[in-house]
């Protein structure tokens, strides 16, 4: 089991850290030095019962025992730091591998995951594996090595008594194996309950404002309480159900001790066994049993670690977006859709687009199984193309496919004459910048958040990008200016301020293709003018594709693509589409009439 876990750890980390292996070897050596004084004890007892022990011999045995203790300390001192160092280094590599692999997965995969379950894999499961490697594995190896060395020594001293000592081991091992089988279902239940509890707590904390505002405290609290009660019952089941079989494991182990005592006394009375040998077995049998029992209990933790490793490895087993063996550079920045169709695999995948573009929440929830159907169009370089349509038309899907957040189901999208799948994700993202309504800011300084667009940018480059994004003035007004720490998610900043930081990122990245979800749709009018100026600066000289919610903001676009139920039903300029009198004309008329609505008439 240990070898399997170590091999799984190596697979998870993608590397073999030699320090961990050396540390485990030293842990085994520590077990040897713990067992070594037993041989000296045997010689000492023989001398005592033979009454031929000299003071010099006693002193020699004592010094050798002290030496064994010193060597044990040295082995632990050399081994444990290497175990810690190797384990933490491998866990660091494992986390980086998982993070990098998650970056390469289609976003639809995240929509199919329960937030609590994925969070549990990336936190509690990884922590369990890390604890196993760093604090448990070395101790376990040393603890297992000690009784093994003692048993080997006792077999050499008297194989008959050694076999009596181990007489109950087969039944004990059967009990241990059965206890693990009994614990299998409760442990699965516990992991499921743990994920559900994390999801419920996260939902409760994030929804506090809504819960208070709508008076839903009672129902939400009861749901949270039921989830945590199930977690409590799952914890108890994991502890209680295998307990009788673990007790049987200890009982069968110690039946050998009773047999050893009675049989040893019988043989001693017959004169076929020396008192020193019997006393040695009686003294050493107890630590052997105690250590074997501890090892048996530890296997329960190892079982959890195996399950945690399997759950983490399952993430790495998810199929990433295919990458070309040799990436190619696009020749130009025109974008061509060639009979593109795309279908979401499951409803969960549609939720991803909601996260990326909140204004499309109702739209994406209503998407048909085919989000895009046989769409063909061309977007010329250094032009502004607006993507419009009613809710559920597939606007977000259209833009996200250009960024290759998913791969098309059929057809092809070409950038500069190359299929996106030939360019490769990393190379593609050097050509594409994205600005969406839902701006994600990370914990760190304002400077660091803008630098995400270009990690090696100088401070002056960041400031220049912020100026062009109309963000410099409000940043300078912050307590530490560009070095001001931003709360997780940027909660201390207004929506308009977060949006301008996102535009500054895109300006700093300086990609030739810009994907834009109309950034002013969810900000107040006072910020709209500044953001529009920032967007105009960002769009200059680029190929821009914008998801348009307010048609008046894109009426001067070079091309307007009108989607309906996943199909491209119209395209042209604002004037051409109005003249056609189709869907775009109706949407325009509806929005033009909106300012004349009155709250009183709606209520009546």
Whole-angstrom Cα Rg for the chain: 34
Examine the domain organization and report whether 281 and 354 are in the same domain.
no
CATH assignment of the domain containing 496 = 3.40.50.300
Mean pLDDT of 19-32: 85
What percent of the chain stands above pLDDT 70? Answer: 85
432 membership: H or E segment, kind and range? strand 432-435
Q: What does the pLDDT read at residue 214? A: 60
pLDDT digits (tens, 9 = 90+) for 290-334: 878 777 777 766 666 777 777 788 888 888 888 887 878 888 889
Q: How far is it, in rounded angstroms, from Cα 291 to Cα 298?
A: 10
Residue 198 pLDDT > 80? no
Residue 324 belongs to some domain of the structure? no
Q: Is the pLDDT of residue 230 over 70?
A: yes
Residue position matching structure tokens 């039946």: 255
Same-domain status, 171 and 96: yes
pLDDT confidence of residue 594:
59
> How many Å apart are CA 566 and CA 389, to the nearest integer?
10
* Residues making up the chain, counted from first to last: 604
Q: Is the pLDDT of residue 85 over 50?
A: yes
Share of the chain above pLDDT 90, in %: 9
Per-residue pLDDT tens digits for 471-523: 888 899 888 899 998 876 677 788 788 888 888 888 888 888 988 876 555 55
CA 417, 423, 429, 434 dihedral sign is positive
pLDDT band at 116 (very low <50, low <70, confident <90, very high): low
Residue 380 has a pLDDT of 92
Q: Do 254 and 170 fall within a single domain?
A: yes
In this structure, are 307 and 378 located in the same domain?
no
In this prediction, residues 338-347 reach a mean pLDDT of 77
According to the model, what pLDDT value does residue 523 have? 55
Residue 603: predicted pLDDT: 37
pLDDT confidence of residue 563 = 92
Q: Which of residues 316, 343, 366 is at a domain's end?
A: 316
What is the pLDDT at residue 43?
Answer: 77
pLDDT at 206: 67
* 507, 470 Cβ separation under 8 angstroms: no
Residue 221 has pLDDT above 80, yes or no: no
Distance CA 319, CA 169 (A): 45
The reply to whether 242 and 301 lie within a common domain is yes
**94 and 182 inside one domain:** yes
Q: Which among 286, 316, 346 is the end of a domain? A: 316
What is the arithmetic mean of pLDDT over 181-187? 77
What is the CATH classification number for the domain harbouring 141? 1.20.1560.10
Asked if 49 and 110 sit in the same domain, the reply is yes
pLDDT in tens, 357-372: 444 444 444 444 678 9
Is-contact 469 504, C-beta < 8 A? yes
Nearest to 342 by CA among 403, 418, 394, 415: 394
Q: What is the pLDDT of residue 375?
A: 92
- Residue 450 makes CB contacts below 8 A (sequence gap 6+) with 457, 462, 465, 466, 501, 504, 505, 508
Q: State pLDDT tens for residues 391-417.
A: 888 888 898 899 888 888 899 999 988
Model pLDDT, residue 167 = 82
pLDDT bracket for residue 351 (50, 70, 90): very low
Count of structural domains, the chain: 2
User: What's the rounded Cα separation, in Å, for the pair 575 and 573?
Assistant: 5
pLDDT reported for residue 233: 87
Q: Taking residues 3-11, what's their average pLDDT?
A: 71
> Is 23 domain-assigned?
yes
Cα distance between residue 236 and residue 61, in whole Å: 49
Same domain, 303 and 403: no
Which tokens sit at 459? 């401070």
Instruction: Report yes or no on 321 lying in a domain.
Output: no
Gap between the Cα atoms of 165 and 149, Å rounded: 14
CB 465 within 8 A of CB 504: yes
**Residues 290 and 370 reside in one and the same domain:** no
Predicted pLDDT at 367 = 44
Q: For 575-604, what is the mean pLDDT?
A: 72
* Residue 130: φ, ψ to 5°: -60, -45
Q: Tokens 């195996």 map to which residue?
A: 306
Domain that holds residue 98: 2-316
Rounded CA-CA distance 531/516 in Å is: 12
Q: Do 59 and 130 belong together in one domain?
A: yes
Q: How far from 63 is each of 75, 392, 462, CA to CA, in Å?
A: 18, 83, 69
In a domain, 329, yes or no: no
Q: What is the pLDDT of residues 249-277, one digit of tens each?
A: 888 877 878 888 888 888 888 888 888 88
What is the per-residue pLDDT for 571?
92
The verdict on residue 39 lying in a domain is: yes
The CA angle 211-214-215, to the nearest 5 degrees, is 75
Q: Which of 182-191, 201-210, 441-450 has the lowest mean pLDDT?
A: 201-210
What is the chain's mean pLDDT, rounded?
79
Are 180 and 34 found together in one domain? yes
Highest mean pLDDT among 349-363, 425-439, 514-528: 425-439
For residue 517, being part of any structural domain is answered with yes
Q: Does residue 602 form part of some domain?
A: no
The answer as to whether 79 is a domain residue is yes
d(CA 307, CA 304): 5
Q: Which residues on neighbouring strands pair with residue 516, listed in sequence order?
A: 435, 546
pLDDT band at 339 (very low <50, low <70, confident <90, very high): very high
354 pLDDT band, cuts 50/70/90, is: very low
Residues 211 and 183 occupy one common structural domain: yes
pLDDT score, position 520: 57
Among 316, 348, 382, the domain boundary falls at 316
């Amino acid at each position: 089991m240990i070898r399997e876990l170590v091999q799984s750890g190596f697979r998870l980390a993608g590397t073999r850290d030699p320090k961990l292996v050396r540390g485990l070897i030293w842990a085994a050596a520590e077990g040897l030095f713990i067992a070594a004084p037993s041989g000296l004890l045997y010689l000492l007892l023989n001398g005592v019962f033979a009454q031929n022990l000299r003071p010099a011999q006693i002193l020699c045995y004592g010094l050798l025992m002290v030496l064994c203790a010193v060597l044990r300390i040295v082995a632990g001192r050399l081994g444990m730091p290497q175990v810690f160092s190797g384990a933490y280094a491998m866990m660091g590599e494992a986390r980086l591998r998982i993070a990098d692999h998650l970056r390469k997965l289609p976003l639809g995969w995240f929509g199919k995951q329960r937030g609590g379950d994925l969070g549990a894999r990336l936190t509690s499961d990884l922590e369990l594996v890390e604890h196993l490697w760093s604090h448990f594995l070395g101790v376990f190896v040393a603890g297992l090595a000690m009784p093994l060395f003692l048993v080997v020594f006792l077999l050499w001293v008297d194989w008959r008594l050694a076999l009596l000592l181990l007489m109950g081991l087969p039944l004990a091992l059967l009990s241990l194996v059965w206890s693990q089988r009994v614990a299998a279902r409760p442990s699965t239940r516990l992991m499921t309950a743990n994920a559900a509890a994390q999801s419920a707590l996260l939902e409760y904390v994030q929804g506090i404002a809504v819960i208070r505002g709508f008076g839903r405290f009672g129902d939400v609290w009861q749901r949270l309480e039921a989830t945590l009660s199930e977690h409590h019952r799952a914890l108890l089941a994991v502890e209680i159900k295998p307990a009788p079989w673990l007790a049987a494991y200890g009982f069968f182990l110690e039946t050998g001790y009773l047999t050893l005592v009675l049989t040893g006394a019988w043989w001693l009375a017959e004169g076929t066994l020396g008192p020193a040998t019997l006393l040695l077995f009686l003294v050493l049998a107890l630590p052997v049993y105690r250590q074997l029992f501890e090892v048996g209990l530890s296997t329960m933790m190892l079982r959890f670690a195996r399950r945690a490793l399997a759950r983490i490895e399952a993430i790495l087993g998810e199929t990433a977006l295919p990458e070309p063996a040799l990436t190619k550079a696009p020749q130009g920045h025109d974008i061509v859709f060639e009979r593109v169709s795309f279908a979401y695999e499951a409803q969960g995948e549609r939720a991803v687009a909601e996260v990326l573009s909140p204004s499309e929440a109702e739209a994406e929830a209503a998407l048909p199984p085919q989000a895009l159907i046989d769409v063909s169009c061309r977007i010329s370089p250094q032009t502004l193309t607006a993507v419009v349509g009613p809710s559920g038309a597939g606007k977000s899907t259209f833009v996200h496919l250009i960024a290759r957040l998913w791969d098309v189901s059929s057809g092809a999208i070409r950038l500069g004459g190359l299929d996106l799948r030939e360019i490769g994700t990393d190379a593609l993202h050097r050509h594409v910048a994205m600005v969406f309504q839902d701006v994600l800011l990370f914990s760190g300084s304002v400077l660091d958040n803008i630098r995400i667009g270009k990690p090696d940018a100088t401070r002056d480059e960041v400031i220049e990008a912020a100026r062009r994004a109309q963000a410099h003035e409000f940043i300078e007004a912050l307590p530490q200016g560009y070095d001001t720490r931003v709360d997780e998610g940027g909660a201390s900043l207004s929506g308009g301020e977060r949006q301008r930081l996102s535009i500054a990122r895109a300006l700093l990245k300086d990609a030739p293709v810009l994907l834009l979800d109309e950034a002013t749709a969810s900000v107040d009018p006072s910020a709209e003018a500044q953001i529009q100026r920032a967007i105009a600066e960002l769009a200059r000289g680029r190929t821009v594709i914008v998801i348009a919610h307010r048609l008046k903001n894109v009426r001067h676009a070079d091309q307007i693509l009108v989607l309906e139920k996943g199909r491209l039903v119209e395209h042209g300029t604002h004037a051409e589409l109005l003249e056609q009198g189709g869907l775009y004309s109706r949407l325009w008329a509806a929005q033009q009439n909106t300012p004349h609505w009155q709250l009183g008439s709606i209520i009546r």
